[in-house]
Amino acid sequence: MNMKRLFLTTILFVVYINCTCSPKLYKPENIVCDIDNYSIYVNYSLNKSATDSLYYIRYNGELIKLNCDVKYWGSNDDLNKFVDCIYYNRYDYNYQEMNDNITFCLIFDEYLHIQDIRFTKRFHDLNDIIKNYIMVHSILSRTEGHWYIEDKSVKSWHIYMGHLRFD
């Protein structure tokens, strides 16, 4: 009877050590945060040589797998022209430029509807910071419907990471 208990205890101990001490298969490699220090996305990888996988982190902590295969119709230059056109032709344009660089992430669902717009770098002009955020957010949201993916069979969420310069 004692041998059975010793054997069972040994097996349970080995299983416990194996489960708790073995490295996790997936571990976060890089978490990117927005300007308010909320997480936007995280890279998970099996090991250093494996291809990274991106996951969007919703405000409630839910992880959604992302693909980076979304593209603007035409090219990045066409996106910049579209943004410039809206920026310079808005009703409240007063000929005072922001003179700023804006880095952003657009998160799309599987139907390429914009689900989130997040900024990863603060604006320089602190006096008009909220006005500038709202204006750039509004301009980027007007790009909905101008995006595509080449592989239509991929049914996942997508991310576009971009940079705009306002002179």
8-state DSSP, 129: H
Q: Is the pLDDT of residue 142 over 70?
A: yes
Q: What is the mean pLDDT of residues 13-27?
A: 44
Backbone dihedral region for residue 99 (phi beyond 0: left; psi -120 to 50: alpha; all else: beta): left
* Listed residue (107, 113, 118) closest to 63, CA to CA: 107
Query: What CA–CA distance (Å, rounded) separates 85 from 46?
Result: 44
The C-alpha angle with vertex 132 and arms to 130 and 135, in degrees rounded to 5, equals: 110
- Is the pLDDT reported for residue 140 higher than 90? yes
Q: What single-letter amino acid sits at 128?
A: D
Written as six digits, the tokens of 39 are: 């997480």
pTM for the structure as a whole: 0.71
As given in the structure block, the two tokens for residue 26 are 């997936």
